[in-house]
């Protein structure tokens, strides 16, 4: 699907605030409510709009301690990778997991209450997963930029 300027502006507006009504969007886009509704439905059908989410203020729910954990596997067989990925998906503290190139195999973004909670997570959950060779943890000091808006 080729996106025109109106689609791009609509996506930008929805990424900023997906709770805007089709009427509010129509006023910003100079389109009818029906036209906006149809465009949104088309973007959803095409998979360009993947889902709608709520962003939670982590510090308000005692999950303000952010850790980036670099991880190496002991082996890189298809079986080991699949098993690790299936297990890490189950860990609720892990909010992102990326298979990467370079010195490490994966980078995990982990959110917990504090250092003590991270230690507990590391000792009782993460390092009990099979096939982990080593981990290297980096702790967030402050968040300079965190956006979900993809520039199209």
CATH number at residue 112: 3.30.70.920
- Residues spanned by the domain of 39: 5-46
Report residue 112 CA to chain centroid gap. 16
The segments of the chain whose pLDDT lies below 50 read: none
Supply the pTM of this predicted model.
Answer: 0.90
Sign, CA torsion 86/92/94/98: positive
142 — phi, psi (to 5°)?
Answer: -155, 155
Q: In CATH, what number is assigned to the domain containing residue 20?
A: 1.10.10
Do 133 and 72 sit in the same domain of this protein?
Answer: yes
The pLDDT assigned to 115 comes to 98
Instruction: Look at the chain and report how many structural domains it folds into.
Output: 2
Residues paired with residue 138 on neighbouring β-strands, in sequence order: 68
**pLDDT value of residue 1:** 85
Q: What is the pLDDT of residues 52-80, one digit of tens each?
A: 999 999 999 999 999 999 999 998 899 99
By 3-state DSSP, what share of the chain in percent is helix, strand and coil, each rounded to 5?
40, 20, 40
**CA–CA separation, 107 and 145 (whole Å):** 18
């Amino acid at each position: 699907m080729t996106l025109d300027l109106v689609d791009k502006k609509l996506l930008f507006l929805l990424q900023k605030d997906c709770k805007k009504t089709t009427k509010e969007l129509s006023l910003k886009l100079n389109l009818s409510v029906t036209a906006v509704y149809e465009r949104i439905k088309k973007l959803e059908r095409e998979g360009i709009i993947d889902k709608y989410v709520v962003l939670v203020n982590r510090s308000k729910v005692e999950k303000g301690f952010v850790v980036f954990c670099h991880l190496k596997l002991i082996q890189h067989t298809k079986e080991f990778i699949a098993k690790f990925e299936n297990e890490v998906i189950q860990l609720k503290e892990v909010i992102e997991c990326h298979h990467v190139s370079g010195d490490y195999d994966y980078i995990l973004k982990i959110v917990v209450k504090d250092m003590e909670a991270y230690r507990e997570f590391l000792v009782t959950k993460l390092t009990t997963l099979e096939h982990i060779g080593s981990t290297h943890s980096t702790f967030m000091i402050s968040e300079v930029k965190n956006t979900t808006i993809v520039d199209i």
